Structure 1
Amino acid sequence: MSRDLYRLALAVLHPGFEGTSAPDWLRRALGEGLGGVVLFARNAIGAPLVKELRAENPGVVVAVDEEGGTVTRLEVGAGSSFPGNRALGVVDDPGLTERVGRQIGRMLAELDITLDYAPSADVNANPANPVIGVRSFGPDPDLVARHTAAFVRGVQGAGVAACAKHFPGHGDTVTDSHLALPTVHASREELIARDLPPFRAAIEAGVRAVMTGHLLVPALDAAAPATLSRAALTELLRGELGFDGMVVTDAIEMRAVAALASPGEIAVRALNAGADAICIGVVGEDGLREIRDAVVAAVRDGVLPEERLAEAAGRVRALSDWYAARPADREAARADVDPGVGLAAARAALTVTGTARLDRAPLVVEVNTRLSQAVDPDTPTGITAALSELLPGTAMIRLERDAPLPDLGGPAPGGGGAGAGGPAPGGGRPVVLVVHDAARHAWVRDVVAEAVAARPDAIVVDTGVPGPPAGAAHVATHGISRVSAQAAAERLAR
């Protein structure tokens, strides 16, 4: 079997890696034709790292998940400079969304990153969804479609490829595909009317890539998840929707598909279904070689047509060529600095019930719900830090599940609470309760109810998809980001 076949197999593999510099095995693979690399926060992403990768293969597709809001790989330490999709959907100004997309594209262009695995084009139709939530522009297909298209225009106008995900739509699920295989219980008619409009809009906007969702959609294919389904990827996405760009899988080590077969077999099945690039979130030299060899063996054995593999490698190359042809767009974007757009969007997205105001440094109680597996566990809500900037002396405690609510104190002599004349905890502190997706977690709602009963003046800040306001004062940021926290803190402390 020719070395060209091995190069074709490597061209469709897009691995992640551990460490902050390119390991030797990855450098060798790039020199042998590896088509892509996926970067994560653990890699301490910066221009020198990307330069290392391009030194071995100038055309490598360097990809990253930079959605803004809760999913950021470049700003995980301090939180994103952009409020995320749900907040943008609440504001519902497509021009603003395009500006945000352009600034995210500009940030990636400065690092010479090829592809942004964004936007999430999922319609968050199920309020119990554990993995999409604020990553979606909202629950309405038309709203999600217009903002998906706007985000794509913004990123790609900056000379960086965008990627609509998670096809055919991860919004109506109650299972996180990082952990198990979700099923979308919808008729084909429902899918067409509800889940597909954002993908159609992205395609019409010229999106260069689409990411598959590890979702079982019986209306399309009762036997295989979309990532492995020819009915979903070739017949629907290619045939009916007319997409001719690169199809990339979600990471194949996610349990939704990893439980079904070996990584090599998953890669072969995805390629046969119509995928062009196989995303592997983390792998080592042996693992990458095993997947490459499985693809080569599948061609040798007649399981995977060599023409299909060559087509897939060609689509990866076409995306790389698209990026290479747009240095002028990236140069223009680098000069088009719009530093206030993220904070402006975050401020516009705030929704406030009651008189939410602080007149002194509060006690912040962060009710610690684990965010989705797509979110880096080190991503901060930022509320305490933002309040500390404006109200020095702000204190914080973190409340884990099943932990008792601490004593929030009682009236302080002559003290004020959330406003003059109200009750305050010991030491005269108001109380701010920070929660995420309280509507999805009964235990969080119980904590809120107990806290508000003890301190009716407590201010509740929900950083997720909010339910009905609980308590007299309630602030919804509709996302976690540095600017969302800053906007909320300004509103509370002004």
Structure 2
Amino acid sequence: MSAHHRRLASLVMPRVDADHWSDPLYQEQVYGWIDRGIGGVGIFRGTLERTAEMIADLQARAGRKLLIAADFEHGLSMRMTEGGIAFPRAMALGKTLPGITEHVARCIAEEARALGVHWNWAPVADINSNPQNPIVNVRGFGEDPKTVADHALAYVAGTQSMQVLACVKHAPGHGDTAVDSHLSLPRIDIDRTTAEAREFVPFRACIEGGVRTVMMGHIIVPFLDDQRPASLSPMIVNDLVRTSWGFDGLITTDALDMGAITSAYSSAQAAVLAVLAGNDVVLLPDNVDEAIDALITAYDAGEITEERLKDSERRWKDAKDFAGVGKRQETVAVDQSTHAMIALQAANSAISLVGDAALLPLTQHTQIAAFAVVDEHEADAATAWFHYLAQATELDIDMGYIDGTIEERDLAGLQEGIVTADVIVFAFFGAAVSHRGRLPGYDRIPEIMDALCDGRPRIVVACGSPYGFDTISANLTMYAYSDTTPSLAATVLRLIGRAPAA
């Protein structure tokens, strides 16, 4: 392979999964991409141990030149199937102090670096300006531009203090949409004045604060470019982010295997358009070899110029130098017990109560009933929450799962089983997140709750998104703003009147 072919391939970053690493055919495919000259990989599914082994194999094959990236917004457990500490989601951190967010980000970066990851695709800097947003929601720090800017900047500082690249996303702002770009292409129908005062604020703050990388969103922003998604638009990548915002660091597309792109562009088209728009990283193309071949063809035809290629090569080099790619790093033992306690304390700090706090602690009551309002996607979280609740108290607690599809005879059975309960707790686990719809039969939930309570006091625990509770009446509502392990545990501690050790 000629040198310039490898140079073009170095702009591409494919997806790799440790879950498949034991498959010789899969290894051969990934090694083939490395031999072609890819600049790095994004890691996803796999246990911590298997992922570490895979990274070591990949770096050995590449001569320790790969930039290793991952999506660890709220910790390694976001992508690892086993291992790594879970931290509260960004929305919960946004309810605390920026110093807490910085501390959490530093812990995540420490764990990432110990694994061999140089680049964390975080934080989400989108304003949560639409409560129905299925891709931001609890992943964002909040609805207020200053709050989001302060916490995004804190996350950047914490991450980069560990020589891990931070990445603000999804520029120029993915908050004001109800469409999931994993599935189709959203439009952000706002004007420039609104965007300048709201969507752009966190991104500009992070750029001024020294963030090393920016991720472009797959969104149509008509007042900037009504034809192409931001990730493929020269008017947005080059004119807005590079020129207007003054950012000269590494710019990456969002994943090019998302439905917003694959529904309209081939891997070849998307890769070339991404580079021509001003991106430095062609991230996770659906067909890696097709993307590399297209970049080579575009360069040979003069469509991608030598100057354009050199600019991206310089930014890749700067990013790798910052993260110490190619340098042997000392093995660092991560104190996971300390990280777990930091996560729990952060989650506890985020919790807010609305209503009659005299209903707490639950230990003042003789008997309690607790129901998880859940769909199949959140069943594991609900089960964990019940487990924590049972472990934390010796109270007599009747527990059950409900959703809006419950039949009348089953509801009657639940009513009979809780006739002696003094207070009823309803924990909600449904959240607006990517690839998922609304909780089945959600409109029936208030009616079901009324039937179960029969006039008795009720406590609602929102384990996740705080949105959608306007039709849910409660004597006391507890908002956790996160559904990760520390947030679930923190709600239980609050319910029984305990706080995590300082």
Class of the TM-score when normalised by the shorter of the 2 chains: 0.7 to 0.9
Indicate the residue corresponding to 1:481 in structure 2. Answer: 484
CA shift, 1:391, in A, is 4.3
Structure having greater relative contact order (Cα 8 Å, sep ≥ 6): 1
Amino acid at match of 1:83: P
Q: Distance in 2 between matches of 1:367 and 1:378?
A: 10
Q: Identity of paired residues, percent? A: 31
Q: Distance in 2 between matches of 1:145 and 1:333?
A: 32
Task: Find the residue that maps to 1:409 and give its secondary structure.
Answer: helix
1:254-300 CA distance string (max 9 Å, x none) = 1111111101111110110011111117x5xxx32111111111122
Indicate the residue corresponding to 1:422 in structure 2. Answer: none
Indicate how the Cα distance of structure 1 residues 326 and 48 shifts in structure 2: closer, same or farther if over 3 A, else same: closer
Indicate the residue corresponding to 2:2 in structure 1. Answer: 3
2:213 to 199, 209, 220: 209
- What is the 5 A alignment of 1:38-187? 38-42=42-46, 46-57=51-62, 58-68=64-74, 72-74=78-80, 81-91=86-96, 93-187=97-191
Q: Distance in 1 between matches of 2:371 and 2:201?
A: 41
Indicate how the Cα distance of structure 1 residues 364 and 416 shifts in structure 2: closer, same or farther if over 3 A, else same: closer
Indicate how the Cα distance of structure 1 residues 433 and 147 shifts in structure 2: closer, same or farther if over 3 A, else same: closer
Higher alpha-carbon deviation: 95-104 or 448-457: 448-457
Indicate the residue corresponding to 1:270 in structure 2. Answer: 274
Amino acid at match of 1:447: I
Indicate how the Cα distance of structure 1 residues 158 and 304 shifts in structure 2: closer, same or farther if over 3 A, else same: same
Kept after mapping to 2: 8 A contact 1:69/1:479 = no
1:200-234 CA distance string (max 9 Å, x none) = 11112211111110000001101111011001100
Amino acid at match of 1:364: F
Q: Distance in 1 between matches of 2:206 and 2:383?
A: 30
Q: Distance in 2 between matches of 1:493 and 1:310?
A: 60
Q: Distance in 2 between matches of 1:443 and 1:304?
A: 52
Q: Distance in 2 between matches of 1:161 and 1:333?
A: 20
Indicate how the Cα distance of structure 1 residues 256 and 316 shifts in structure 2: closer, same or farther if over 3 A, else same: same
Q: Distance in 1 between matches of 2:489 and 2:399?
A: 16
Indicate the residue corresponding to 1:17 in structure 2. Answer: 16
Task: Find the residue that maps to 1:23 and give its secondary structure.
Answer: helix
RMSD: 3.1
- What is the 5 A alignment of 1:375-414? 382-391=384-393, 397-399=400-402, 402-404=405-407, 406-407=410-411, 408-410=414-416
Kept after mapping to 1: 8 A contact 2:403/2:440 = no
1:386-409 CA distance string (max 9 Å, x none) = 223324797765446644474232
1:454 to 452, 455, 460: 452
- What is the 5 A alignment of 1:199-278? 199-278=203-282
Indicate how the Cα distance of structure 1 residues 5 and 70 shifts in structure 2: closer, same or farther if over 3 A, else same: closer
Kept after mapping to 2: 8 A contact 1:161/1:209 = yes
Indicate how the Cα distance of structure 1 residues 442 and 326 shifts in structure 2: closer, same or farther if over 3 A, else same: same
Q: Distance in 1 between matches of 2:218 and 2:443?
A: 31
Kept after mapping to 2: 8 A contact 1:122/1:136 = yes
1:300-352 CA distance string (max 9 Å, x none) = 22332243233223322321121117989988995895552211111111122
Alignment gaps of 5+ in structure 1:
372-376, 419-429
Task: Find the residue that maps to 1:90 and give its secondary structure.
Answer: coil
Task: Find the residue that maps to 1:248 and give its secondary structure.
Answer: strand
Indicate the residue corresponding to 1:364 in structure 2. Answer: 371
Task: Find the residue that maps to 1:143 and give its secondary structure.
Answer: helix
CA shift, 1:358, in A, is 3.5
Indicate the residue corresponding to 1:424 in structure 2. Answer: none
Indicate how the Cα distance of structure 1 residues 41 and 381 shifts in structure 2: closer, same or farther if over 3 A, else same: farther
Kept after mapping to 2: 8 A contact 1:81/1:481 = yes
* TM-score normalised by structure 2 residue count: 0.85
Indicate how the Cα distance of structure 1 residues 378 and 10 shifts in structure 2: closer, same or farther if over 3 A, else same: farther
Indicate the residue corresponding to 1:299 in structure 2. Answer: 299
Indicate how the Cα distance of structure 1 residues 442 and 339 shifts in structure 2: closer, same or farther if over 3 A, else same: closer
Alignment gaps of 5+ in structure 2:
498-502
Indicate the residue corresponding to 1:434 in structure 2. Answer: 428
Residues 1:319 and 2:313 are matched in the alignment:
no
Kept after mapping to 1: 8 A contact 2:76/2:86 = no
1:56-78 CA distance string (max 9 Å, x none) = 2212111111111798113x558
Q: Distance in 1 between matches of 2:192 and 2:156?
A: 26
Indicate the residue corresponding to 1:341 in structure 2. Answer: 342
Amino acid at match of 1:12: L
Kept after mapping to 2: 8 A contact 1:13/1:36 = yes
Indicate how the Cα distance of structure 1 residues 356 and 453 shifts in structure 2: closer, same or farther if over 3 A, else same: farther
Indicate how the Cα distance of structure 1 residues 445 and 107 shifts in structure 2: closer, same or farther if over 3 A, else same: farther
Amino acid at match of 1:444: Y
Q: Distance in 2 between matches of 1:381 and 1:70?
A: 21
Kept after mapping to 1: 8 A contact 2:85/2:340 = no
Kept after mapping to 1: 8 A contact 2:465/2:481 = yes
Amino acid at match of 2:385: I
CA shift, 1:13, in A, is 1.0
* TM-score normalised by structure 1 residue count: 0.86
Indicate how the Cα distance of structure 1 residues 412 and 485 shifts in structure 2: closer, same or farther if over 3 A, else same: closer
Indicate how the Cα distance of structure 1 residues 40 and 351 shifts in structure 2: closer, same or farther if over 3 A, else same: same
Kept after mapping to 2: 8 A contact 1:437/1:462 = no
Task: Find the residue that maps to 2:321 and give its secondary structure.
Answer: helix
Q: Distance in 1 between matches of 2:280 and 2:305?
A: 13
Amino acid at match of 2:482: G
Indicate the residue corresponding to 1:426 in structure 2. Answer: none
Indicate the residue corresponding to 1:189 in structure 2. Answer: 193
Q: Distance in 2 between matches of 1:187 and 1:70?
A: 37
